[in-house]
Amino acid sequence: MKSFKKQFNYSPTQVRAKLLSLTQYQLPKLDEDKNMKAKIVTLDEIKVIAARGVGTYEEIAPEAWGRLMKFAYGNGLMKGDVRRFGVSYDDPNITEPDKIRYDACLDLYVDISQGDNLKNMTIGGGKYAQFMHMGSYDDLDQTYHYIFNQWLPKSGHELRDDPCFDLYLNKDPRRTKPENLKTIVHVPINTCYK
């Protein structure tokens, strides 16, 4: 936490408060009946290979996934049980567009020395609130808006200082209609304080 405050001049709590105030009126209210029930789970850490992108999410996510999938398919690694994760580190409402970080990830543990700017990393384990997002990836911001502005303040939980991540359930999103895309959003939380 000290390193976070040193780098950003704000504590994580101050950033969250600012985030909530900034996003409160920027997105339409997401109805609670849109299958947005939280499931609280405890996960083990997940070792992955990743491609980092820096810039706006709309630009960097496809570029990062392109590099990662070229390596994975080129090396015959895309078996049926390989999971796809997206790790988002920054909120575009408070982070400058050229500093937003995103990691496209596959849960593989392989030699990446021949990859195009890939890295090994670990998605942290611990307690998470899971939400099922149905539909286009372009609408994920509405799901996050609901989680942070409606669910979290009433939940009795608080955020941990780890990034949120998404688990993409469709095997080939390019061949899936946007309305049929399924994503499990993972929000890191601390033990209930109520």
| Topology adopted by domain 2-157+164-188 | Multidrug-efflux Transporter 1 Regulator Bmrr; Chain A (3.20.80)
Q: What is the pLDDT of residues 3-62, one digit of tens each?
A: 444 444 445 544 454 444 444 434 444 444 455 799 999 999 999 999 999 999 889 999
For residue 157, pLDDT beyond 90:
yes
Classify residue 187 as exposed, middle or buried by CB count within 10 Å of its CB (0-12, 13-18, 19+).
Answer: buried
Q: What is the pLDDT of residues 135-151, one digit of tens each?
A: 999 899 999 999 999 99
Query: Rounded to an integer, what distance in angstroms lies between the CA atom of residue 86 and that of residue 103?
Result: 6
Q: Where are the chain's structural domains?
A: 2-157+164-188
Q: With a threshold of 0.75, does the pTM exceed it?
A: yes
User: How does strand 101-106 pair with strand 39-43?
Assistant: unpaired
For residue 123, pLDDT beyond 90:
yes
Phi, psi of 150 (to 5 degrees): -115, -50
DSSP E strands, the chain: 39-43, 46-54, 84-88, 101-106, 118-123, 126-134, 164-168, 182-188
Task: Give residue 126's pLDDT.
Answer: 95
Give 80 or 15, the one with higher predicted confidence: 80
Of 165, 177, 178, which Cα lies nearest the Cα of 84? 165
- Chain mean position to CA 41: 16
